[in-house]
Structures are given as structure tokens and as C-alpha cells.
Structure 1
């Protein structure tokens, strides 16, 4: 569980789509306030999914080889296979000019509630689902497992938190440096999506198969 959550949380926080949108949001009027609404909604989505899993299991991991355990591994295997197929498909797609979505131009007039809704829409739900399936093995009577779940949610939010704090403390410097970062993300968006999808997908497939047969 611990390594699964580390791999998935890192991939979520490095995703280029939500990071690019968040940088644009920070550069808009009231960007720090909108960014905070985005972060709170983003973190809440992750925490609520984990909480739902804990309510389902009662905080006790299912026995290895039981139906719930096998189902969780099957979910991770399916998500991993889907990510590998998706990454391979995008890798074979011919390169073309990057065209930002039209809605990005409307971030300046975004309300806090809309920013929160955008966090829900930009959440990489396939990876969040894989994280939830991994959390099924958490035993809440263990301090280490509890800290791992909290750490996973924080890790998956880390890039947003760093940019939010940086912008709040040094607005001028943040505008310049985050602008360069967004340019780099836009230029390398396809490579990042492909690599993150393949790395996480291959890990989930390999680890899930190993656990299913062991």
C-alpha cells in the first residue's frame, strides 16, 4: 500500500493539466483566493474518497485472497492497463501545435465556487480510483497507515500548495517564475502525460498481478 500511494500521489501532483490551469488562476484577479478555493476542493475530493473507503472497510483491511481484496486488486489492474493503453495511444499520436482549451481564457472572471468546481473536473479520477483501491489495505489502528493516507492526500496536493504559498508571499517573483513554468508545462505536456501514464500504469499492472498470484 505504502509504495502504491507514493507512486500514485507523486503522479497526481506532477500532472501538467491541473498545474497549468492553477498557474493561470493564480495570475488572474484575486488569484490567491481562487487558488485557495481550488486547493481546498482538490484536497477535499481526495480526502472524501479515502474516507469513503475507510467507512466501507471499517478501517480494517480485507483478508488477502478474499473477494474484496481481489476486487481491489482487479480495479488497480484495470486502471493500470487503461493508463498504459492511454499513454501508448498518446505516444503514437502525431505531434501537433498545442492549443490551450478556450475555457482557460475565462479564468480571470472565475468565482471561488467555480474554482472549486474546476478542481473536481480536473482531478485525475483514474489515478484517484487507484489510490482508493490501494487505501483498502489500510489499517486505521496503525499510526503508520493513518499517516500514509494523510501523506498521500498532501503529496497529491503538494504542487498546488507550493505555488499558492509562493504567490501569496512573493507575488511579483511568482508571476515571472510560474509563467516560465507554465510555458515549460505547455511545451512538454504530451511527454509528461505519456510518461506519467506509462510509469503509473506499468507499476499498477505489475504490482497487482504479483499480489494476485502470490
Structure 2
């Protein structure tokens, strides 16, 4: 479970869509406050998903080969297949001309409430679902499980926290460097999404099939 959650958390942290959107939020007027609200809303929805899973399981992992255990593995397998489909879909759509503008170009004019609403909207829910299917196996009777879950949440939010802290304590430098990051992300977004989805999809499919058949 630990390796699975760390890989999923890392994939969430480097997902180019929320990272690019967060850079735009930070560059807006009162961007530091809007970024903080974005992070709090991001964490709130993230923790809510984990809490719902743990409340359902009662903090006790299902027995191996039991219906709940098999269902969680089947869910992870389905999510992995979905990520592979998304990678191929994104690869094909990247060849088509993209319209200019859109929501991203308007993020510099959002309010605090809109920033809070965008956070859960921009979360990579396929990856969050994969994490939720993995958390089913968490055993809260061991203190180490709380450490792993905390580390998972922190890792998944680490890129946003790093940019928020950087923009707070070094605003001039951050403006330049985050602007370059935004430009790079926008020009390499499709490649990053395809690679990320392909890697994690293959891992989830392979791991789930192994656990289902072993």
C-alpha cells in the first residue's frame, strides 16, 4: 500500500493541469491569498474522500480474497485501464489544433470563492480514485498507517505548497520562475499527461492483475 500511495501521490503532485492553473492563480491580484484558499479547498476535498473510504471500511482492511478486497482490486484495475485509455485519447487529441483562450486564460481574474471552487474541480479525480481504492487496505489499528496517509496527502499537495511558500517569501523571483514554469507546462502539457497516465495506468493494471491472480 505504501509504494502505491506514494506513486499515486507523486503523480497527483506533478499533474500539469492543476499545477498550471495554480501558477495562474498565484499570478492574479492577491494571488497569495487565493493560492492559500485553493490549497485549503484542495486538501479539504482530498481528505473528505479518504475519510469517506475509511468510514466505510471502519479502518480495517478487508480480508484477502474477500469480496470487498476483490472489489477494490477490480476498481484499481478499471482505473488503470481508464488511465491507459485516457493516455491514448490525449495522444490522439494532441495532434488537433487547440482553441486559444479558455478557462486558463481567465484565472487571473477569479475571486477567493472561485479559487476555492476550482481546487476540487481541477483535482485529477482518476488518480484520486486510484488512491481511494488503495486506502481501502489501510489498517488504522497501526499508527504507521496514519503516518502513511499523512505523507500521501502531503506529497499530493507538495507542488502547490512549494509554489505557495516560494511566492510568499520570494515574490519577485517566483514571478519570473513560475512564469517560465507555466510556459513550459503549457507547451508540454499533452506529453506530460500522456506519459504520466501511461506509466501509472500500466503500474495499476499490472499490480492489480498480479494481486487478483496470486
TM-score bracket for the superposition, by shorter chain length: over 0.9
Cα shift at 1:94: 5.3
How many residues are paired up? 214
Structure-to-structure mapping, 1:1-214, within 5 angstroms: 1-93=1-93, 95-97=95-97, 99=99, 101-214=101-214
Classify the secondary structure of the residue corresponding to 2:5.
Answer: helix
Deviations 1:57-106 (A, max 9, x none): 11110001111111101110000001011102222345245555522232
Give the whole-Å Cα distance in 2 for the aligned partners of 1:143 and 1:181: 38
Please, what is the CA RMSD of the aligned residues? 1.3
5+ residue gaps, structure 2? none
Give the whole-Å Cα distance in 1 for the aligned partners of 2:99 and 2:157: 26
Give the whole-Å Cα distance in 2 for the aligned partners of 1:207 and 1:79: 12
Give the whole-Å Cα distance in 2 for the aligned partners of 1:131 and 1:206: 16
Give the whole-Å Cα distance in 1 for the aligned partners of 2:189 and 2:106: 21
Q: TM-score, normalised by structure 1?
A: 0.96
Classify the secondary structure of the residue corresponding to 1:188.
Answer: helix
Cα shift at 1:45: 1.2
Distance 1:88 1:103, change over 3 A: closer
Cα shift at 1:110: 1.4
Whether the aligned pair in 2 keeps the contact of 1:8 and 1:130 (CA below 8 Å) is yes
Distance 1:91 1:59, change over 3 A: same
Give the whole-Å Cα distance in 2 for the aligned partners of 1:181 and 1:13: 14
Cα shift at 1:46: 1.2
Cα shift at 1:33: 0.3
Deviations 1:161-201 (A, max 9, x none): 00000000011100000000111111110110000000110
Give the whole-Å Cα distance in 1 for the aligned partners of 2:99 and 2:34: 24
